[in-house]
Amino acid sequence: VNILGFIDVVDSLGGVTVCTPIPINDPKTGLNLPAGTHQLQGTQALGYARTRATARSDLDRIDRQQQVISALLNRALSADTLANPGKLASFVNSTLSTVKVDPDDGLIGLATQLRDVSLEDVRFAHVPLANVDFKAPTGESAVLWDKPAARDMFRRIDADQDLAKPTPTQTKTPTPAKTAVPPSSITVKVMNGTLITGLGARTKAALTASGFKVPGQPGNTDKKDHKKTLVRYAAGQEAAARVVASVIPGAELRQADVEGVEVIAGSDQPKIKKLQQPATPTPKPTVTPTTKTAMDSICKK
């Protein structure tokens, strides 16, 4: 629709009713509207549909354009237009001079059939956006589409599917994730491998705080020259030992002739961490385009 054609279509219907929640003052278009409901003729309606002089710029402009289209439909589908042959002909002629269509035979009849169309049948949609304040490599401000959601939206349009409903998808039964041995099921024996007084007790307390079972009092190794903390484990206990070693930075892991899992605290005195449980992934909701009907967009009395 070209600019002059848009003005003619609006004027052929006697203008449109729009409502703005905020005042709009745009010196570029000459539009100056206080907040509220307004009856606009062609030139003013064009300015209202084209202005970017509000906080969200083009995004607000999209909403205003949808509102103007809804107002035009509301007028075109009203009994006042459809029951008035002269007004209906003026509207159709203005529209035909504005857009390219197939041969216009019977278009008056087609326009008359519009009485069976409801504003609820006309739905608008915004392309889903990932970033409304995207900076292009060349410095311009732009919006960035949510590409997967946008592709799905246009696929639905092509398939004539309802945009307001998520597309049913067949999901595979998820394979249970392999979980580490919980610390509450791991029993650890603590030994002080140095001459540092109280190191065994502190190591026991830290492991207990991390959720491990550490029964009894810490013992002492025969040799007191262990520089690095060592996690030793019996055959078949590697998984549990790895969980213990994961909270002791720099600890060596070694299979040995011991019972269960044993920690020999070395002179490196590593600070034992609390076990970080892997976060449970949050299912990503199905993105559906923001939609509304022409009825939602017209001014309510």
Residue 5 has a pLDDT of 79
CB count within 10 Å of CB 124 equals 20
Residue 168 has, within 13 A of its CA and on its CB side, a CA count of: 2
Say whether 77 sits in a helix, a strand or coil: coil
Q: What amino acid occupies position 147?
A: K
**Sequence-ordered list of residues with C-beta below 8 angstroms from that of 50, at least 6 positions apart, any chain:** 29, 61
pLDDT in tens, 84-128: 656 656 665 665 555 565 555 555 565 556 666 777 778 888 888
Rounded distance between C-alpha atoms, residue 273 and residue 239, angstroms:
18
Residue 125 has a pLDDT of 86
Residue 179 has a pLDDT of 46
Evaluate if residue 150 carries a pLDDT over 80.
Answer: yes
> Does any domain span residue 128?
no
What the block records as the tokens of 227 is: 């520089």
> Does any domain span residue 150?
no
What secondary structure does DSSP assign to 21-60, as a single string? SS-EEETTTTEEE-SEEEEE-HHHHHHHHH---STTTHHH
Domain harbouring 43, CATH code: 3.40.630.190
In the chain, the largest separation of any two C-alpha atoms, in whole Å, equals 109
> Does any domain span residue 106?
yes
Beta-bridge partners for 135: 141
Residue 170 has a pLDDT of 46
Q: Are residues 25 and 110 in the same domain?
A: yes
Q: Are residues 17 and 108 in the same domain?
A: yes
Domain harbouring 195, CATH code: 3.30.70.2390
For residues 94 and 217, which has the higher predicted lDDT (pLDDT)?
217
Of 117, 141, 172, the residue that ends a domain is 117
pLDDT in tens, 249-260: 999 999 999 999
Q: Are residues 105 and 16 in the same domain?
A: yes
pLDDT confidence band for 35 (50 / 70 / 90): very high
Residue 297 has a pLDDT of 64
Give the CA distances from residue 31 to residues 34, 59, 66, 133, 141, in Å, rounded to whole numbers and listed in that order: 10, 18, 18, 26, 25
Of 117, 143, 172, the residue that ends a domain is 117
Task: Average the pLDDT over 151-162 and give the result.
Answer: 88
SS3 content of the chain, % helix, strand, coil (to 5): 35, 20, 45
Mean of per-residue pLDDT scores for the chain: 81
> Does any domain span residue 218?
yes
**Sequence-ordered list of residues with C-beta below 8 angstroms from that of 242, at least 6 positions apart, any chain:** 180, 253
Determine the structural domain holding residue 240 and report its residue range: 183-265
Rounded distance between C-alpha atoms, residue 290 and residue 66, angstroms:
13
Q: Are residues 109 and 201 in the same domain?
A: no
Rounded distance between C-alpha atoms, residue 7 and residue 50, angstroms:
12
Rounded distance between C-alpha atoms, residue 225 and residue 221, angstroms:
9
| Number of folded domains that form the chain | 2
Task: Average the pLDDT over 124-133 and give the result.
Answer: 87
Q: Which of 67-81, 141-155, 201-215, 284-298 has the lowest mean pLDDT?
A: 284-298
Rounded distance between C-alpha atoms, residue 53 and residue 31, angstroms:
10
Q: Which of 40-49, 123-132, 224-233 has the lowest mean pLDDT?
A: 123-132
> Does any domain span residue 235?
yes
Rounded distance between C-alpha atoms, residue 204 and residue 222, angstroms:
19
Write down the pTM of the prediction. 0.52
> Does any domain span residue 86?
yes
Rounded distance between C-alpha atoms, residue 288 and residue 165, angstroms:
7
> Does any domain span residue 88?
yes
**Do 237 and 260 touch, CB atoms closer than 8 A?**
yes
Residue 72 has a pLDDT of 83
Place of tokens 């570029």: 28
Strand pairing report for 230-233 and 252-255? parallel
Residue 286 has a pLDDT of 46
> Does any domain span residue 169?
no
Q: Where are the alpha helices (DSSP H) in the chain?
A: 3-12, 42-50, 58-76, 79-82, 85-96, 107-113, 147-158, 199-209, 238-245, 294-297
Residue 141 has a pLDDT of 83
Residue 267 has a pLDDT of 94
pLDDT in tens, 176-216: 444 468 898 999 999 999 999 999 999 999 999 999 999 99
Residue 292 has a pLDDT of 78
Residue 177 has a pLDDT of 43
Q: Are residues 94 and 17 in the same domain?
A: yes
Give the CA distances from residue 278 to residues 88, 146, 176, 206, 246, in Å, rounded to whole numbers and listed in that order: 66, 28, 14, 20, 13
Beta-bridge partners for 131: 144
Tell me 185's DSSP state.
G
